[in-house]
Chain A
Amino acid sequence: MIELESLSAHFGNAAALRDANLQIRRGDRLGIVGESGSGKTMLALCLMGMAPDSAHLTGRLSIDGRDMATATERDWRQMRSRRVAMVFQEPMAALNPLRRVGDTVMEPMLLHENLSRAEARARALSLFEEVGILNPEQRLRQFPHEMSGGQRQRVLIALALACNPALLIADEPTTALDANVALRITDLLQRLARERDMALVFISHDLAAVARATQEIVVMYGGDMVERGPTAEVLATPQHPYTKGLLGARPDPAEAGRDANGKRRRLPTIPGSVPPLHGLPQGCRFAGRCPVELAHCADQRPVFTPTEPGRGAACHLLSETGHD
């Protein structure tokens, strides 16, 4: 349904995304994990045709078999909401504060599907029920500031589902939420994807959430896809040093990504921090922070090496053992 072939995004000389390859089919539930600056949001924006104007895109992106390289803004508008929809990170900021949430959710239905107001309202009501909003009738008339963060995120999910998209991208949908609200939103997304036979791309640095919601996982670092495979297997036996670092940074799987006070930790404890885009090494992006770094890692780019069907990583350690 959606195919990426060596899709890259450059800002000047700096690459925010390098040679991303991806295939998403109906019903797939894919997790994308990585720290801030790993390129995961950039990837999501590319899928929406919403990469910033200053980004130079290369490679191939096709949706429903159509090459989107030639797509105009108008073509993309036809795709958004109806084929691909997105839920953003900050539910507090992602809703227009001056509009009743019902009007916000109904707007794409009225525009894209020419529904009457009554039809749109009926659909909004059933969507609110589907995403677990209590008292939907009353909620439709409320303003965002009258709702909690979890409720707003549910509204945003309802908005994303308004025109029955084939793919739902959730970009850090739980980051701004309390722990147990985050858990329920994660389960909701997972359930919606299964019930609607809809593809889900779940972007997060919260490994526990990704583990709950997805079947497959892609680990990203510095704009590169460094490891991928079935979620359970990757989390159990990580092959890339970065993935190991991410997992090792978890004190306890159930408490993944949270510190002792139950607060969310933005960066797992891998030594150092993600360098700014233009400061990344040209070879393996992880060079410099990698505990098992080889001499040529910083200069030579590791190729993606499959280890078993549907599984693999981009690391010189793997490719070298593969050669031997």
Chain B
Amino acid sequence: MRRLPANFLLGAVLVSIVVGIAALSLIWTPHDPQTMSISTKFAPPSATHWLGTDQLGRDVVAQLMAAARNSMTVALVAVLLGGSIGVALGLLASALGGWVEDGVMRLADLGFAFPALLFAIMLAAVFGPSLTNAVLAISFINIPIFARVTRASANQIWTRDYVAAARAAGRGRFAISRDHILPNIAAAIIVQATIEFAVAILAEAALSYLGLGAQPPASSWGRMLSEAQTLMYLAPQLAIYPGLCIVTAVLGFGLLGDGLRDITDPRLVRAR
């Protein structure tokens, strides 16, 4: 067993903390995140309110926990949705080749012209801002990313001898894609998914900050920051915690992704 790289370990610890807190929020938060209490607004940290309360007297810790859950859910759905479509397209392109491959790759190029924010802006203009639209926009930008990674890795596997053997045995392209190609590129896809998870958390936070994502009363780190920004003179501490949460989560998944890549791609480790 090789020693695990430091970025993997640190990433795993950070991710465990964030995911653990998000999971915990499903069954327990110190207070109800939405309960307002004007009499205790802007309360300093205390035994009852560990990080104090906000402008409406809501408990900050409870809100941060609920926001962690929302953030993880958004990232998970967006990466799964966009990722599975992208992987399917990439496998298809690699299996069929020819004009299908060209077409899929041109479509992927097209996808890169639209940052998630632009797509979210279009959806918000048409349907009104909502968390669903934010999820759709983030999923959408994941499609070309996964399509590219999948096709590039799949094309390498198609040249292997055991694939040639399977073809000689008369197996169809789709059966081979499922039984031979997909298992062999799973590592590359998981690495990409971990990194895109970090990107999705960042995107959700930005969209919610701009009002294109989570709508009141749903808790979101991004929205907490946009509210805190208007209260900078009154309660600057409120602008600190949600940001730290975002950084922890994004850093965690980013490091975990880098670490996984180092573990699964020995070529890169040697190049260091």
Taking the complex as a whole, does A directly touch B, i.e. does some CB pair lie under 8 Å apart?
Answer: no
Which B residues lie at the A interface, using CB under 8 A?
none
